[in-house]
Chains A and B, each alone.
Chain A
Amino acid sequence: MEEPHPKPTGTIAVLIVYAALSLALWGSVYLTLLFRGSTQ
């Protein structure tokens, strides 16, 4: 039996912020790669 507990809404909220941050930071490095030019 699982103990009754409140839903992890705070966790999801924190992780949404984290996912957005990850996307932004990853994206900025990706754009930098593109901006600095092809290597072939």
Chain B
Amino acid sequence: MNGLRIDSYEKVWMLASGVLLAVFLVAVAASVFQGFSLPGDEPRLDPTRTMVDPPFAQPAVVERAPGRYDAYVRVQIWAFVPNEIKVPAGSSVTFYLTSPDVQHGFMIERTNVNVMVLPGQVSKISARFDKPGEYLFVCHEYCGIGHHLMSGKVIVTPKS
């Protein structure tokens, strides 16, 4: 750098903070390769037909293979449809969400399922439910006066 005199202590700190940031980035990259991914770019829907076109016109939980489920959830003013998703312990569930009206959120406690739900877009994210119990999910994006009423649960039944 032309004519830029930097104190030696400041140089050390600039290097150390750069290394710290690099370490964080590498750790993040490693986790991405281990399957900790963000919702991606799914094909768009026509938001005006969400209530009439499959799969969101009749949103349901579908078993694709033993222990592997696809859960279609329509997130609307002010309810999740369906608001109960029942699976046996050890299941992997892939959630597909959209909205027919305004922006919403979908977050399942004690998991990394945490997505925005937008009209015309499909939010896709998965989770594995090993422990039996009830897992609350809520809407966490303001969507009108009934926003705080929106919740549901994933019910994980013990393996029989």
Separation in Å of the A40 CB from the closest CB of chain B?
4
Chain A residues with CB below 8 A from B110, complex form: 36
User: Is B126 in contact with A40, judged by CB distance below 8 angstroms?
Assistant: yes
| Chain B 33-55 interface 0/1 with A at a Cβ cutoff of 8 Å (1 = within) | 01111100000000000000000
| Chain B 47-80 interface 0/1 with A at a Cβ cutoff of 8 Å (1 = within) | 0000000000000000000000000000000000
- Residue B155 lies at the interface, judged by CB distance under 8 Å to chain A: no
Chain B residues with CB below 8 A from A22, complex form: 20
Q: Which residue in A12, A19, A37 is a CB contact (below 8 Å) of B128? A: A37
Which residue on B lies nearest to A5, using beta carbons? B7
User: Is B9 in contact with A38, judged by CB distance below 8 angstroms?
Assistant: no
Q: Which residue in A8, A19, A39 is a CB contact (below 8 Å) of B112? A: A39
The total of chain B residues at the interface (CB under 8 A) is 26
Given A8-B9, A39-B126, CB of A19 within 8 Å of CB of B16: yes
| Chain B 2-29 interface 0/1 with A at a Cβ cutoff of 8 Å (1 = within) | 0001010110110011001000100110
Separation in Å of the A4 CB from the closest CB of chain B?
13
Chain A residues with CB below 8 A from B5, complex form: 2
Which residue on B lies nearest to A16, using beta carbons? B16
Q: Which residue in A11, A19, A34 is a CB contact (below 8 Å) of B36? A: A34
Separation in Å of the B23 CB from the closest CB of chain A?
8
Q: Which residue in A15, A34, A38, A40 is a CB contact (below 8 Å) of B13? A: A15
Chain A residues with CB below 8 A from B20, complex form: 19, 22-23
